[in-house]
């Protein structure tokens, strides 16, 4: 697994922070999370400087994926203590790499408290996902028009949409899950399954 140097540096920055004694979720977030998951709207705009998805973006994905707060909090707390790239719901894992495990840094109780706070607070209304602009279609993704989409094509679309340098993609964890038969490509049927799943969740 390729480790991201910038994530390691951020972890070192955290280890110098004193730990909080009571569960003050705002403080915990400031101490352990904000160094990677920024919440400053100005900083969020400078996409090239980001080393992890901002809090608003994470919560947009979580609320989309889980039908209630309880399920989202359970997933998030487990994920942050022992991240598993096979379970990650943020496609940005492909540029940022896997999050460093917080086990031993924060307790399960603290992880749940932070998740609950994040659920209540994010995404903020100032955070507008520019979804319509970059709406995905099979044709847009299939750059070389060969009837199937590779991880590279999928990532190129997302790089263009989000102004990310395509060379920043260091893995294909997210794409691999869309490639249901594991042949390295997403064909039209697999694409339709993904879209259908997204529609189903959106209309829930």
Q: Which residues bind ligand HEC (CB under 6 A)?
A: 7, 10-11, 14, 32-33, 35-37, 52-53, 58, 76, 79-80, 83, 88-90, 92-93, 96-100, 102, 106, 114
CB nearer to ligand HEC: give 110 or 153: 110
| Tokens 């903020």, located at residue | 124
CB nearer to ligand HEC: give 101 or 137: 101
- Give min distance, CB of 142 to ligand HEC, in A: 26
CB nearer to ligand HEC: give 50 or 186: 50
CB nearer to ligand HEC: give 12 or 132: 12
Question: Cα(165)–Cα(172) distance, rounded to whole angstroms?
Answer: 15
Question: Cα(191)–Cα(204) distance, rounded to whole angstroms?
Answer: 20
Question: Cα(97)–Cα(2) distance, rounded to whole angstroms?
Answer: 7
- Give min distance, CB of 146 to ligand HEC, in A: 30
- Give min distance, CB of 130 to ligand HEC, in A: 20
- Give min distance, CB of 12 to ligand HEC, in A: 9
CB distance 85 to 173 below 8 Å: yes
C-alpha torsion angle, residues 59, 112, 176, 48 (rounded to 10): 50
């Amino acid at each position: 697994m390729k480790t991201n140097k910038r994530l390691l540096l951020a972890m070192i920055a955290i280890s110098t922070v004193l730990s909080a004694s009571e569960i003050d979720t705002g403080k915990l977030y400031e101490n352990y999370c904000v160094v990677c998951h920024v919440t400053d709207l100005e900083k969020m705009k400078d996409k090239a400087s980001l080393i992890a998805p901002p809090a608003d973006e994470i919560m947009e994905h979580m609320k989309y994926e889980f039908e209630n707060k309880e399920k989202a909090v359970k997933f998030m707390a487990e994920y942050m203590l022992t991240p598993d790239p096979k379970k990650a719901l943020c496609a940005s894992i492909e540029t940022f790499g896997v999050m460093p495990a917080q086990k031993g840094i924060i307790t399960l109780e603290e992880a749940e408290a932070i998740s609950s706070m994040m659920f209540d607070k994010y995404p903020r209304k100032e955070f507008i996902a520019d979804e319509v602009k970059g709406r995905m279609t099979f044709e847009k993704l299939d750059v070389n028009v060969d009837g199937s989409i590779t991880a590279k094509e999928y990532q190129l679309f997302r790089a263009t949409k989000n102004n990310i340098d395509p060379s920043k993609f260091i893995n294909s964890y997210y794409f691999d899950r869309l490639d249901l038969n594991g042949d390295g490509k997403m064909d039209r049927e697999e694409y339709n399954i993904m879209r259908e799943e997204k529609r189903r969740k959106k209309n829930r």
